[in-house]
Amino acid sequence: MIAGAQWSRLYALRQEIRKTYPTIWDVPLVKKELDRLLPNIREGCRILEVGAGDRRFERKLKGRLHWVTYRSCDVDTETMQDYYSVEEITEEFDFIFMFELIEHLSPEEGLALLRRLWEILRPGGCLLLGTPNLYHPHRYFGDITHKTPYKYEELGAVMLMAGFTNLRAYRMYNDAALRRWLRIRLGVVLHRYLDVDFAPTLLMEGEKPPAGPSCTESDGRS
């Protein structure tokens, strides 16, 4: 467990995140991962996916951005990857993304991984994480291999501890058009009352402080 001085810092940083997003309902919605992948990719960017699995995002990205330089990392040696451990990576990247992985690690392992990703990220680069939204009633509990649940403020605090700045949080929810409209426009009243979110996934992105031109762009949040 994170304890002592580290816990005190984690607590303080959670409060910092809550200054920007006081409640889960202040975190804006997006539909899909691509809604935050594509705005962070510009020509010439080098991209790393951690926990790549079947590398489906490589196909999705190259279908739209044929010039993208993509590398993958996953511990599963039965899959085809460029790297099987983040420790063996010697390249630097402008954009790193990692979906549905950090919750499988202990808090200490998660923080160590984020610090390693910070090391191989170029100054001005961006890290995008995805994890089950703990405010959703069952999303996190659908996998017995999950070890660490993260509320948005906790994930943000851990990213700050790892050195990332300019954090931006999103809730990800996609559904059939009518059902999505009904839930967002009407059902949200009940969801707010119960303090139970309908968005199953939380996204959080942050930057390594720039030393030159950045490969990221603003999310436009007012």
Question: At 48, which amino acid appears?
Answer: L
Q: Is residue 79 part of a domain?
A: yes
Q: Is residue 60 part of a domain?
A: yes
Residue 140 vs residue 221, higher pLDDT: 140
Predicted local distance difference test score (pLDDT) of residue 5? 64
Q: Which residues pair with 70 in a beta bridge?
A: 47
Structural domain count of the chain = 1
The band of 1, judged by pLDDT with boundaries at 50, 70 and 90, is low
| 28, pLDDT greater than 90 | yes
Q: What is the DSSP string of 170-182?
A: EEE----HHHHHH
The band of 215, judged by pLDDT with boundaries at 50, 70 and 90, is low
Q: Is residue 211 part of a domain?
A: no
Predicted local distance difference test score (pLDDT) of residue 210? 87
**Which CATH number do you get for residue 130?**
3.40.50.150
Q: Is residue 218 part of a domain?
A: no
| 222, pLDDT greater than 60 | no
User: How far is residue 187's CA from residue 190's CA, in Å, rounded to a whole number?
Assistant: 6
Strand (E) or helix (H) holding 168: strand 165-172
The band of 6, judged by pLDDT with boundaries at 50, 70 and 90, is confident
Q: Is residue 93 part of a domain?
A: yes
The band of 151, judged by pLDDT with boundaries at 50, 70 and 90, is very high
3-class secondary structure, 38:
helix
State both tokens at 176: 């059939």
Predicted local distance difference test score (pLDDT) of residue 213? 52
Q: Give pLDDT tens digits for 89-108.
A: 999 999 999 999 999 999 99
Q: Give pLDDT tens digits for 73-88.
A: 999 999 999 999 999 9
